Structure 1
Amino acid sequence: MPTFASNAALLIIDLQVGINHPRLGPRNNPEAELRVGELLAAWRMKGRPVVHVRHISREPDSVFRPGQSGCEFQPAFTPLASEAVFEKNVPDAFCHTGLERWLHVRGISELVIVGVTTNNSVESTARTAGNLGFDTAVVADACYTFDLQDRNGRVWPAEDVHTLALTTLAVDYARILESAAVLAGS
C-alpha cells in the first residue's frame, strides 16, 4: 500500500462545468468525479494541501472560454478560500503558472493528480511533474477522457485512450494508482 507525506498535494485538474458539454462526446470512467470527491474530502479532513487548476482557453469555441459558465469550477469542486487556484492556458499546469514555485516554497515534493483529460492536461502535467523531480502519482479511477479520432479518421474508445495515456506515464513519470489505495495510504 502506498503511503503519502502529510504535505502531499492533491492536484485537481480542469474539473470545470464545460468538461460536461455533450459535444466532447463519449467518455470513460463515469464515476471519476465520485472518486475525486472522496479524495478531496480526505485531503480536506486531514488539512493537506489542495491545488485546483482551471483551464482558461484562448480558443473562441472552447468549452473553457472565459466569460461563460463552462469556465467555472463544477460546484462539487469549488475551491475553499484556503486552497490554491492556478489558471493555465495550455494543457500543462506548470507552464507559466507559478505552480512549481508555489510547491517548492511550501516544501511539497509529492503530488497526487486527478482530473481531466487523462491524455491531455493530466498527462502533460504529470510528465512535467516527473521531469521536475516531484514524486508523482496519477489516480486512474479519478481521471477520465473522451473518444479520440486519430489523424487517419479512426475513432479510439475513451477507455483505450485513458489506458494508453496511463501506461505511458507509468514508464517514466508517475505511479499509477487506484483511489482506494490512495485513500488507504493517506
Structure 2
Amino acid sequence: MEINENAALVVVDVQKGFESEFWGRRNNPEAERNIAALIDAWQETGRPVVFVRHDSKQAGSPLEPGTEGNGFKDFVEERRGKGSGPELFVTKSVNSAFYGEPDLDAWLKGAGVGQFVVVGIQTNMCNETTARMGGNLGYDVLFPIDAMHTFDLAGPFGWTQSAEELTRATAVSLHGGRFARVVSTEDVLKGAGAA
C-alpha cells in the first residue's frame, strides 16, 4: 500500500465525552494505541494532520461545548501542535468533518491533498460519514478499522447491533461500495514508511 507524501490523517472526535457510560459498551480496546501510533507517524514524517472535535448542540450531551467531555482525550491533546507538517483544527456539530469550520475540503484541496486516512470515534457514525463524503468528493480514503471504535446501538423495530456487528457492516459497506479502502493500522504505517 502506498501512502502519499502529503496524505492527511483526519483524527475524528477523540474526545473525553466518549468515556462516559452514556454510550454503553464499546469495542476495540486497542483503538487509542493505534490512533496514537498513526498520529506519531504522521507528525514524524511531516504529513498533514487534521484534528476534528464534535461540539454537540444537544443539552446534556457528554460532548457539549464548555464541558470536560468536549475536550480531546489527553493522548491526543498532548500531540497537537507537535508535528513538523501542517495541522488543522476543525469543529463540527454534525456527523461529517466536511461540514465543519473551517472548510476541510477547501483546506485539503488548497494543500493539494488527494488522499486521507480516517481514524477516531465512532466507526459507524462520524468516521463512516466523513469517509463516504470523502469518497464522493473524489479523495482516496483509507479506513484503518482497528484505529477506531464504536458502541452497541439500538435501532427501529427492536433491532440492535453490537459494536462488532456495526464495525463489520461499516467495513463491508465502505469497502464493498468503494467509498474507502478498509485496511489495518499496520498496513498504513508500513505504507507511510513508519513501521
Does residue 120 (structure 1) correspond to residue 125 (structure 2)? The answer is yes
* Distance in 2 of aligned mates of 1:121 and 1:34: 20
Q: CA deviation at 1:154?
A: 2.9
Q: Could you say what secondary structure the match of 1:136 adopts? A: strand
| 1:83-124 residue CA offsets vs partner (Å, 9 max, x unmatched) | 210000101100143000000110011000001111110010
Amino acid at match of 2:178: D
Helix, strand or coil at the partner of 1:33: helix
TM-score of the superposed pair, with normalisation by structure 1:
0.96
Q: Secondary structure at the match of 2:43?
A: helix
Report the TM-score when normalising by structure 2. 0.92
Deviation at residue 172 of structure 1 after TM alignment:
2.2
- Which structure 2 residue ranges, 5 or more long, are not aligned? none
Taking the TM superposition and a 5 Å limit, the aligned residue runs for 1:38-77 are 38-77=37-76
Letter in 2 for 1:145: T
Select which of 95, 99, 115 maps to 1:95: 99
- More deviation, 94-103/117-126: 94-103
Q: Secondary structure at the match of 1:11?
A: strand
Name the structure 2 match of 1:133: 138
Q: Calculate percent identity across the aligned residue pairs.
A: 38
Which residue in 2 is equivalent to 1:167?
Answer: 172
The Cα shift of 1:80 comes to 1.2
Secondary structure of 1:40's aligned partner: helix
Q: What do residues 59-100 of structure 1 show as CA deviations (whole Å, max 9, x unaligned)?
A: 102111011000001111112175210000101100143000
Q: Which runs of 5+ in 1 are unaligned?
A: none
The structure 1 segments of at least 4 consecutive aligned residues displaced by more than 3 Å after TM superposition are none
* Counterpart code for 2:88: A
CA-atom RMSD in angstroms: 1.1
For these two proteins, the number of residue pairs brought into alignment is: 185
Please tell me the residue identity of whatever aligns with 2:99. Answer: C
